[in-house]
């Protein structure tokens, strides 16, 4: 079920109506669980069985870690983590394993390739991993009983945590120690409706006006169409796709944050103006923040982080980025994408160490432009998962050199990318100058965005990160 569909608007309206009825206040979790299961099963009902099975695994393992024999706490937590990784691996990477290591015509290979990829599996399995690790480390607010002694109550809270529909299929990834303490009765007068409204309008604008319009022009990046375009067109389409993937995913995250806020739950920001990053390290503090912080907390630090010497630091960096890339999709190109970012980070780290530069204070505009260019070219591995197609695309940029270009394509990509440019430019100016008059006229900008959502939305399409 898409956020930008009428059926979702109906589901949201009914859920909010029942959720805040005074005599149903004690049933708020039940209402949200029911809505979440309807939301997830709308397009393909059997998928909800996998979601319930995943939740069941995490319910049992997390409860046993806290309340059963202390001698087996670590073993039970490991079982919880491994179970989540097995579910993710089986449904997401079986096809990749078969295509890489098995004979294509074999029965086993055909079976593994035919396994469907459930929407959102990368997100809700990571949340299950977070739960297993957090309860083992007791990583939650002191004084909070986030794992109830009642198995029934614990089951409800965990199912709710795993299935909460605003962020179920494309994040932001929610950590157990951030979300579980928030589960309590919510009241209508506690909701920050202005903040929710701003997040929703901006999110829908980025998705429906920017990303959905850009996708009709970046479509031609696909093989074999790109071979028939000139160099300027190819570069412009790649620029457009860079803006599209930001608008699409940041738009989803803002919508998810706004929707969660309507029900009284706070999700952390997932994007913070990533295309003005002052370094590659800074980029990963701004892009898909929930994933980068998850990998940092649950993988990089347990591997030793930067505390076990230079070699281990760089090795850990490559491992984390490569696995983070593979998390995005069942193709080796995604791992290469992650590994490429690992190389960027490693070279930058060495460069800054040699010159004794503090990356936090490094604000060279040319370096920021260079980062954007490198990040943009790396998105080719997302759009074209086949390595051979990526190579052909780069070759076409050099071989199809011409000063002529498709004016229709160029104009529309520039037009629909402009909001992303203005969005980042405004942030830069806001950090340096005071724009009190802009703050006073903020309602006007949101009104314009709302008008454009109604009048200038592109053809509806799935969010890009649904495939991950």
**CA–CA gap between residue 252 and residue 170 (Å, rounded):** 8
User: What's the pLDDT score for residue 363?
Assistant: 64
**CA–CA gap between residue 67 and residue 429 (Å, rounded):** 53
Give the pLDDT confidence of 186-218 residue by residue, as tens digits.
999 999 999 999 999 999 999 999 999 999 999
Stretch 350-379: mean pLDDT, rounded?
A: 82
- Final residue in a domain of this structure, among 156, 188, 220: 188
- HSE, CB side, 13 Å, CA atoms: give it for residue 348: 22
DSSP string over 80-115: HHHHHHHHHHHHHHHHHHHHHHS-TTSHHHHHHHH-
User: Who's near 204: CB < 8 A, 6+ residues apart?
Assistant: 3, 4, 251, 255, 453
The one-character DSSP state at 181 is G
**CA–CA gap between residue 277 and residue 280 (Å, rounded):** 7
Joined together, the tokens standing for residue 52 give 């319930």
Question: Per the domain annotation, does 446 fall within a domain?
Answer: yes
Question: Per the domain annotation, does 203 fall within a domain?
Answer: yes
- Average pLDDT, rounded, for the chain: 90
Question: Per the domain annotation, does 214 fall within a domain?
Answer: yes
Position 467 confidence tier, pLDDT thresholds 50, 70, 90: low
Q: 307 by DSSP, 3-state: which?
A: coil
Q: Are residues 342 and 411 in the same domain?
A: yes
- pTM: predicted TM-score of the whole model, two decimal places: 0.93
- Final residue in a domain of this structure, among 188, 215, 245: 188
Q: Are residues 142 and 263 in the same domain?
A: no
Question: Per the domain annotation, does 23 fall within a domain?
Answer: yes
Question: Per the domain annotation, does 1 fall within a domain?
Answer: no
Stretch 383-387: mean pLDDT, rounded?
A: 87
Joined together, the tokens standing for residue 8 give 């979702």
**By mean pLDDT, which of 99-113, 217-231, 303-317 is the weakest?**
99-113
Q: Is there a contact between 203 and 258 (Cβ–Cβ < 8 Å)?
A: yes
Containing structural domain, residue 422: 193-467
Compute the residue count for the chain. 468
Q: Are residues 73 and 134 in the same domain?
A: yes
Q: Are residues 157 and 280 in the same domain?
A: no
- Percent pLDDT > 70 in the chain is 94
Q: Are residues 364 and 430 in the same domain?
A: yes
Stretch 149-157: mean pLDDT, rounded?
A: 93
On the question of pLDDT at 300 being above 80, the answer is: yes
**CA–CA gap between residue 253 and residue 258 (Å, rounded):** 9
Give the pLDDT confidence of 311-351 residue by residue, as tens digits.
888 999 999 999 999 998 888 889 999 999 999 999 998 88
**CA–CA gap between residue 204 and residue 200 (Å, rounded):** 6
Joined together, the tokens standing for residue 91 give 């449904």
User: What's the pLDDT score for residue 329?
Assistant: 85
Question: Per the domain annotation, does 298 fall within a domain?
Answer: yes
Q: Is there a contact between 253 and 172 (Cβ–Cβ < 8 Å)?
A: yes
- HSE, CB side, 13 Å, CA atoms: give it for residue 267: 31
Q: Are residues 178 and 200 in the same domain?
A: no
Give the pLDDT confidence of 159-176 residue by residue, as tens digits.
999 999 999 988 799 999
Q: How far lies 86's CA from each of 57, 82, 121, 125, 237, in Å?
A: 12, 6, 11, 10, 38
**CA–CA gap between residue 299 and residue 454 (Å, rounded):** 43
Q: Are residues 230 and 102 in the same domain?
A: no
Joined together, the tokens standing for residue 200 give 């929703």
Stretch 393-421: mean pLDDT, rounded?
A: 93
Q: Are residues 261 and 307 in the same domain?
A: yes
* C-beta atoms surrounding 37 within 10 Å: 18
Q: Are residues 144 and 208 in the same domain?
A: no
Q: Considering its fold, how many domains does the chain have in total? A: 2
Position 361 confidence tier, pLDDT thresholds 50, 70, 90: low
User: What's the pLDDT score for residue 330?
Assistant: 84
- Final residue in a domain of this structure, among 188, 204, 221: 188
On the question of pLDDT at 298 being above 70, the answer is: yes
Stretch 10-37: mean pLDDT, rounded?
A: 95
User: Who's near 416: CB < 8 A, 6+ residues apart?
Assistant: 209, 210, 213, 214, 217, 240, 243
Report whether the peptide linkage leading into residue 197 is cis, meaning its omega lies within 30 degrees of zero: no
Position 385 confidence tier, pLDDT thresholds 50, 70, 90: confident
Question: Per the domain annotation, does 163 fall within a domain?
Answer: yes
Question: Per the domain annotation, does 241 fall within a domain?
Answer: yes
Q: Are residues 136 and 225 in the same domain?
A: no
Q: How far lies 220's CA from each of 223, 377, 383, in Å?
A: 8, 16, 10
**CA–CA gap between residue 454 and residue 446 (Å, rounded):** 12
**CA–CA gap between residue 124 and residue 458 (Å, rounded):** 29
On the question of pLDDT at 7 being above 80, the answer is: yes
User: What's the pLDDT score for residue 439?
Assistant: 67
Interior angle at CA 313, CA 309 and CA 316, nearest 5: 140
C-alpha radius of gyration, the chain, whole number = 23
Give the pLDDT confidence of 235-270 residue by residue, as tens digits.
999 999 999 999 999 999 999 999 999 999 999 999
User: What's the pLDDT score for residue 435?
Assistant: 63
Q: Are residues 180 and 205 in the same domain?
A: no
Q: Are residues 171 and 289 in the same domain?
A: no
Backbone angles phi and psi of 168, in degrees to 5: -65, -45
User: What's the pLDDT score for residue 249?
Assistant: 94
User: What's the pLDDT score for residue 44?
Assistant: 80
User: What's the pLDDT score for residue 331?
Assistant: 86
């Amino acid at each position: 079920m898409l956020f930008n569909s009428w059926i979702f608007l109906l589901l949201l309206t009914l859920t909010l109506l029942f959720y805040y009825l005074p005599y149903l206040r004690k049933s708020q979790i039940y209402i949200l669980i029911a809505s979440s299961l309807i939301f997830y099963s709308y397009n393909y009902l059997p998928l909800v069985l996998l979601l319930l099975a995943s939740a069941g695994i995490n319910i049992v393992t997390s409860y046993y870690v806290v309340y059963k024999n202390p001698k087996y706490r670590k073993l039970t937590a490991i079982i919880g983590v491994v179970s989540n990784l097995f579910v993710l691996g089986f449904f997401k990477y079986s096809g990749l394993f078969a295509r890489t290591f098995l004979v294509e015509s074999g029965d086993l290979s055909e079976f593994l390739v035919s396994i469907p990829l459930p929407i959102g599996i990368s997100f809700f399995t990571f949340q299950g991993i977070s739960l297993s690790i957090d309860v083992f480390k007791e990583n939650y607010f002191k004084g909070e009983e986030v794992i109830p002694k009642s198995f029934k109550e614990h089951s409800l809270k965990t199912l709710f945590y795993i299935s909460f529909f605003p962020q179920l299929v494309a994040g932001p990834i929610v950590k157990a120690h951030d979300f579980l303490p928030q589960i309590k009765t919510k009241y209508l007068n506690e909701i920050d409706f202005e903040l929710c409204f701003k997040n929703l309008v901006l999110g829908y604008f980025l998705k429906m006006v920017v990303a959905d319009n850009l996708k009709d022009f970046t479509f031609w990046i696909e093989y074999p169409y790109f071979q028939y375009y000139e160099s300027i067109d190819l570069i412009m389409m790649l620029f457009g796709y860079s803006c599209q993937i930001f608008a699409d995913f940041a738009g989803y995250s803002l919508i998810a944050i706004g929707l969660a806020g309507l029900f009284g739950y706070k999700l952390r920001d997932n994007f913070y103006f990533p295309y003005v990053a002052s370094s590659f390290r800074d980029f990963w503090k701004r892009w898909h923040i929930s994933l980068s912080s998850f990998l940092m907390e649950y993988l990089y630090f347990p591997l030793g982080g930067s505390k076990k010497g230079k070699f281990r630091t760089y090795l850990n960096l490559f491992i984390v980025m490569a696995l983070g890339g593979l998390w995005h999709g069942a193709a080796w190109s995604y791992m290469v994408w992650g590994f490429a970012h690992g190389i960027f980070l490693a070279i930058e780290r060495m460069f800054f160490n040699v010159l004794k530069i503090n990356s936090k204070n490094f604000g060279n505009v040319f370096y920021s432009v260079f980062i954007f260019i490198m990040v943009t070219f790396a998105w080719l591995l997302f759009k074209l998962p086949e390595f051979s197609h990526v190579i052909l695309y780069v070759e076409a940029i050099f071989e199809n050199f011409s000063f002529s270009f498709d004016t229709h394509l160029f104009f529309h990509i520039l037009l629909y990318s402009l909001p992303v440019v203005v969005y980042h430019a405004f942030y830069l100016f806001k950090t340096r100058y005071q724009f009190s008059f802009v703050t006073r006229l903020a309602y006007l900008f949101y009104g314009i965005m709302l008008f454009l959502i109604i009048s200038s939305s592109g053809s509806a399409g799935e969010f890009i990160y649904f495939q991950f």
